[in-house]
Chains A and B, each alone.
Chain A
Amino acid sequence: MKRNSTISGLMLLLFFFTTNAIAQNVALKGKVTDAATGESLIGVSVGIKGTANGVQTDVNGAYSISVPTNATLTFSYIGYTAQSLPVNGQTTLNVLLKGESNELKTVVVVGYGTQRKRDVTGAVASVNGDQLSKQPVQTPTQALQGKVAGVQVLSSGQPNSAPILRIRGTGSVLAGANPLYVVDGVLTDDIRNINNNDIVSLDVLKDASAAIYGVRGANGVVIITTKKGKSGPAVVSYDANVGFREIASQIKLANRQQYVDYLNVASPGKITSDDKSPLTIPGTTNWADAVSRKGFYTNHNISVSGGGDKSTYFISGNYYNEDGVIKTNNFQRFSLRANNDVKISDKLKFSDQISLTRGAERAVDIGAVYGNVYRAAPIIPSILNGKYGNTSAWSNVGNPLLQLDKTNNFILNNRVQGNVAVDYNPVKWLTFHSAFNLDARFNNQKNYGYQFDADGNTFTVGGGNQRQTNSSLFVQNDNSYQYQWDNTVTFDRTFDKHHFTVLGGVVTEKARSNYINGSRIDVPANQDQWFLDLGNPDLNATNSNNGSLFTRQSYIGRVNYDYAGKYLLTGSIRRDGSSKFAEKYATFYTVGAGWVISEESFVKGGIFDNLKLRGSYGELGNDNIDPSLFIVTGLPYQPYYFNNGTLANGTIIQDIKNTNLRWETTKQLDLGLDFGFLNNRLTGEFDYYDKKVSNALTYVTLPGILGDPDNRFITNAASYQNKGVEFALRWRDNISPNFSYNIGANISYNKNTVTGLNGGQALNGGGANGQTITRTENGQPIASYYVLHSTGIFQNAAEVAAAVPNSLEANHVGGLKYEDVNKDGKIDANDRIFAGSYQPKYFGGFNLGVNYYAFDISADFYGNWGNKIYNGKKNSRGSANDNIEAGYADARFTTAKPSSTDPDLITQSTPPSTYFIESGAFLRLNNLTVGYTIPNAISKRAGISKFRMFLTSQNLFTAKRYSGSSPELFNTDILSAGIDATNYPVTRTFAFGVNVQF
């Protein structure tokens, strides 16, 4: 044995010696193409094994390199299996690279590091950037809709709105239920500044593996990684799409005749006395149409990326401009990004990832506008010869179009987000990483209200109460910065079959924000004069300024261990210190284990390409609360008067605070199975989870003797549970190099329950007219509808006479019947029942993709079912002269046409009941895209390496049961989720776009 090794050592030495001695260089050429499609691959790294030398393929996939005749070349390309081929003296070496169909080799980002997908023990989902950027939407989260099991996305048609994300259900009511976002290591709550085209991947930590983000991981974590340059010639990409958005499904309001008929019942005499007045016009005003339009949008992206041996760069610019579908609403965004890597030496790397964004928005107060759209009389013109119809003179609401035109709320958001980092590898298996992250925002708002009177200058006819006697200006500057300094050490080493990755680190954070604002009246209407100094300083002038500050200090640690790629163990811990609490420190952890069954000899080579069983359990937190909620504070400047008119300033200490307030705690169990069959053409995952939230913030009633003004305080009392299963399946196949397709589907089931209020108050959520509509009560899902049970319509006087008295609304023929649930012989608030919630039992999506020669087609569907919507707009009537919905106008009870389903009248005193509750189930074609790529041979002549054109439509059609315009409701107030009151209309988009690469 000893002798042998000596001999082989000698031979090796000899081999090297001879190699060096006799090596001759040859000029080698070749082309690298995709094994499946035959497409030439650009930017493939071609390296000479054992040296640092290498080149990259050009736009035609060609390379040329001078190599020793006996060298071995390596060909590597992201997304493809690397190949090593000996030169063997050849002068031409064409290579076919196979796409990495094996998902297990994919890398996922798990927070403060990456892991091979195959080694992951938690529930982590990844979405490629191109899946996001192909959709004509502003935010990456909106594009995520229907793509990931367990992630529910609710978006709005309003430009620049941040979609609501619920990862595995609603886990908090008062501390926020949105996930944490991490953009290239920057922790943030808002990613509207991110250009979708800059994203290389989006990873979602759904289970306790988010514990590496400790006190902010409870609602899950969305990690976004932006693009980096690749060594090689500069690649210039231009991606653009232009199109328009329209209201997907316009609400149908009663027309003139329906309104007049209704008014004769609701407001008898109104029409006969006033109809001939010059207020009204013949025909019908559709107020929903009057305030809306088609909104055009454009989205242009240009990026340059590339690099040399020592450095790479990615620079991109984006211009986005969208007109909202509500008149006057507009949003523009410019963003710039520079992501650079510089290798100072083999061991030292410097990098930066920085984005600058400027968002400019003319906002609309959709609540105020739609509140009036639903109610405005259709017999009044919206605008006629430059003068507005005077709805308020008709004892009705204000003219919503006038509201829009007479307000200019301009908001400017400037943001710098990014980091600079140093990575130091003294040895290959050890990495020191230090990153300084910054997220700074500088915002400016000017909200101007024009002066107008209720006279003939503004209106077709004077009168009414819609007027702004004085112009008004509100100006606010606010800025905030959050910095975060990450220092980590990663140890990554294999000993025989044992592979360890160990991470340790410290994270320090500080966040400060402040605002200053003022308001004045009588500021001139000229936009150049919209400054506080031009307003009246003496009347109704206000100024305000305040700020907040908090810090965090965290220690993190994680160990990943695998044995022979079969047995996986993960443990992570984060000790989080937060200035928000009296008890500063808390520890969060996760433990996970995985068993790659397909690596076992008894399975290997069988039908499974991949089969992995995994499980994780851990504890996470949520500290997303007001920083000084636990500190007893005084309220100064409470007035009192002495000496017949001298103001004295009193101070009071009155709010009872829980000085021992703590973070909310989530304990989550996840069990999962990953599998791949048939050459990994069929892959999928199955997950079961049980997520228990305790110490959730809620209001607890205090005894009156403590003197708290509202007799309640916020404390950690409630517990919630989200329990469910997720299932995702994907099929992909290449039938020929020119024909491939894929199908994917995912479905999630979630059950949300308030498991204990523990002395806390049941929280009420409301709707129009300040009514209680939802209640968050023991044993029910969060924000369950809590309303009367309507059982039909009184058809005749005998039924009314037989009914129990109703203390909320007078019983009458044509009125709603309600069930006397508690059998006390009267209908009142005690007869309310729980009637479902907006949280879907099931939600999911499926998507199809086909590549056929130069064409590509993809379709993404999204839907949910098992949830309910409260049609609050139907119940938003505030006065007898308000308009109604067309559907209701047709269906309602009249003496001539009795109805057994819809009452004769809906007034502001109609109590919330199951009558207003409808099914929220829907299925929507979220995105349909058809693309055509000009064959390489043609585009090449123009010096273009890739030219693709596409047509795309977002939200092309929706199958729904809900009578309102959209079953997707964007309500940021968790307790009002599901109440369709004054939501910004959901839009449908048609767009044309190009992807060009030079």
Chain B
Amino acid sequence: MKKIYQKHSKLLFICAAVVASTFSACKNYLEVAPQGQITQDQIANDPTQAKNLVTGIYNVFYIGGFDPDITSLQFVVLSDIASDDADKGSSPTDYGDALQVDNLTTSATNGIVNNVWTGHYQGIARANQALDKLNAAQFDAATKNALIGEARFLRAYFYFNLVRLYGGVPLLDKVPLPAEANDDKYQTRATADDIYKFIITDLDFAVGNLPDKGATDVGRATKTAAQALEAKVYLYMKNYQKAYDLSNAVITSGKYSLVQDYSLIWRQKAVNGDGGNNNNESIFEIQAGINKSCSAGINLYTVSQGPRAGGKFGWSDLGFGFNNPSLSLVNEYEANDVRKAGTIITIQPNGTRLFDGFRIPGRDSVENDRYSYKAYHSRSAEDNCGGNTDRLPKQVRILRYADVLLINAEAAIQIGNVGAASTSLNLVRTRAKLASVAPSLTAVWHERRVEMAEEHDRFFDIVRQDAVQPGRAAAAFTAHGKTWSSKNALFPIPQTQIDLSGGRLKQNPGY
């Protein structure tokens, strides 16, 4: 035996060494970096990537359609179709969830309510991810704070929509660690006041750190955009002094003016330097473009609101036909108000010619009476991505100067500054080719309705006005042929989300 070992000791040693080395040599053998992917750690260590994360938040505006949604059809349902400005449209039975909203009978299981909830939280998650990585990134302070300002501006915008839609919602101020995600802190609703306070904190930071218009890329959040949004938030908070001050700051910045021809505000291309994308009046606007994969536009925004074939059919139509301007809205316009024609495509018995020369056939071949002109994107006179109609590069105007002027007018009335109110209000009226009127809440509210119609503002505005002057909502909906009840001021918390929170999210009253 001994002999054997001596004789073969060399080989035995080699064998033992082989076995031993495979045991020990590979301490890091199992640490394999993911291939062909960028990890969040790599992003955190790369300033360019951290910057791209901010751009990535803007990209969230493109989601929508029948999936989670921020600015597309389902947000349109909750802001316009829900209001007295619009009817659901399309064919009578199409899209039952939207019909519920239109009839003020939204249930907690309504899919739209859930998709708009999840869509906005996607935006918030992207903002929080960017903030998380930016905080650790190595930049010069001004660049870094400007980027943080953009992220916080966008986050504030998402929360502003949420608080207006649902009231208090879960407040996520960062990316929760996996272990924390189920904490009560995130799974229960903060109060609406807390959300408003949070929005103000974000916007204060944004105002303090964002560059001026012209000092940054067109389309990025600017200091004045943050001021305009904050002014609007303060209007909802009934802090009229702040609303006045901030809107006044936007006005006195001198960076904005009204587009002369109202109907050109929503065009892609300026006409004789007036209107078009990113025009003088635009304060914050969703940017779109044409890329190879045709993915740089809001999913279904335009096509869902486009004129729809019906009756005799026989033409290649422009969309699904949702969000029809209501009769109540039509009746709101004063005679000679140019905004009516700029807002509404009214289907004529013998055919309707649009600005680009497109002819919609006679009423008997069209499904509905009226469609939104502001959502229209010309297939011929404006750009598209190789005929793709789902993601037409329509740039939705989120904040524009006329809105700020009307915020300013209303806030001025509330703080007793009639002179300022008159100036701001009548600037808007003059552009609409209407005579000046004396400023009053009623006058401003009428003006807001016709100026901002089909711009996804009316539902929130009428609820806000109702809080200032109780009864306004009920009256407005009566005129619209619908019955308002106080529970309709907020949409239900989606039942799916209540279930996923284990019942910790509490439902709004009345649902």
Contact = CB atoms under 8 A, between A and B. Distances in A.
Interface stretch (A242-250, A626-634, A901-909): A626-634
A205 interface: no
A485 B114 contact: no
A548 B30 contact: no
Contact of A578 (B30, B36, B56, B287): B30
Contacts of A577: 29-30
Nearest to B498: A703
Contacts of A709: 63, 68, 122
A514 B63 CA distance: 31
A701 B68 contact: no
Interface in A657-672: 658-660
A642 B122 contact: no
Interface in A254-289: none
Contact of B178 (A640, A649, A652, A659): A659
A644 interface: yes
Nearest to B500: A703
Given A651-B55, A652-B59, A550 B32 contact: yes
B220 A579 contact: no
A743 to B, nearest CB: 48
Nearest to A709: B122
B126 A707 contact: yes
Interface stretch (A363-371, A380-388, A426-434, A727-735): A426-434
Contact of A434 (B18, B23, B278): B18
B38 A658 contact: no
B12 A426 contact: yes
A537 to B, nearest CB: 13
A633 B172 CA distance: 21
A705 B31 contact: no
Nearest to B177: A659
A487 B43 CA distance: 40
A704 B56 contact: no
Nearest to B494: A704
Contact of A549 (B26, B35, B126, B278): B35
Contacts of B372: none
B55 A508 contact: no
Interface stretch (B289-297, B357-365, B469-477): B289-297
A628 B37 CA distance: 9
Given A426-B8, A641-B289, A642-B217, A649 B55 contact: yes
B19 A489 contact: yes
B497 interface: yes
- Among B60, B114, B278, max chain A CB count under 10 A is at B60
Contacts of A489: 15, 19
A548 B22 contact: no
B8 A703 contact: no
B286 to A, nearest CB: 9
B53 A651 contact: yes
A707 B497 CA distance: 12
Given A651-B52, A651-B55, A551 B30 contact: yes
A424 interface: yes
Contacts of B288: 641
B59 A704 contact: no
B486 interface: no
Nearest to A434: B18
A636 interface: yes
B289 A633 contact: no
B346 interface: no
A682 to B, nearest CB: 46
Contacts of B170: 705
B443 interface: no
A424 B12 CA distance: 9
A641 B219 contact: yes
Contacts of B287: 640-642
A702 B500 contact: yes
B186 A705 contact: yes
B492 to A, nearest CB: 14
Contact of A706 (B55, B60, B125, B133): B125
B197 to A, nearest CB: 19
A553 interface: yes
A424 B34 CA distance: 39
A638 B124 CA distance: 17
Interface string B270-293: 000000011000000001110101
A650 B57 contact: yes
B117 interface: yes
Contacts of A552: 30
Interface residues of A, number: 65
Interface in A526-570: 546-553, 555
A52 interface: no
Given A644-B277, A651-B52, A703-B501, A711 B38 contact: no
Given A652-B126, A704-B494, A705-B121, A634 B181 contact: no
B34 A633 contact: yes
A581 to B, nearest CB: 9
Contacts of B38: 633-636, 651
A506 interface: yes
Interface in B152-169: none
Interface string B35-62: 1111110110000010011111111100
Given A432-B15, A487-B19, A703-B500, A642 B218 contact: yes
Contact of A653 (B36, B40, B497): B40
Nearest to A548: B35
Contacts of A550: 32
Given A426-B11, A652-B126, A641 B296 contact: yes
A652 B53 CA distance: 6
Interface string B469-511: 0000000000000000000000000101100110000000000
B37 A506 contact: no
B247 interface: no
A707 B121 contact: yes
26 contacts: A426-B4, A487-B18, A505-B19, A508-B29, A547-B35, A547-B36, A577-B29, A577-B30, A579-B31, A584-B30, A627-B32, A636-B49, A639-B295, A642-B219, A644-B218, A646-B217, A650-B59, A651-B38, A651-B43, A651-B52, A652-B59, A653-B53, A653-B129, A704-B496, A706-B121, A706-B181
Given A505-B19, A653-B129, A711-B68, 4 more contacts: A546-B35, A640-B56, A651-B49, A707-B123
Interface of B: 1, 4-5, 8, 11-12, 15, 18-19, 22-23, 26, 29-32, 34-40, 42-43, 49, 52-60, 63, 68, 114, 117-118, 121-126, 128-129, 133, 170, 172, 176, 178, 181, 186-187, 217-220, 277-278, 287-289, 291, 293, 295-296, 494, 496-497, 500-501
Interface of A: 347-348, 424, 426-427, 432, 434, 485, 487, 489, 505-506, 508, 514, 546-553, 555, 577-579, 584, 627-628, 631-636, 638-654, 658-660, 701-709, 711
Which 10 pairs show the lowest CB-CB distances between chains A and B? A707-B125, A650-B56, A650-B55, A641-B289, A704-B118, A642-B217, A628-B34, A579-B32, A546-B36, A651-B52
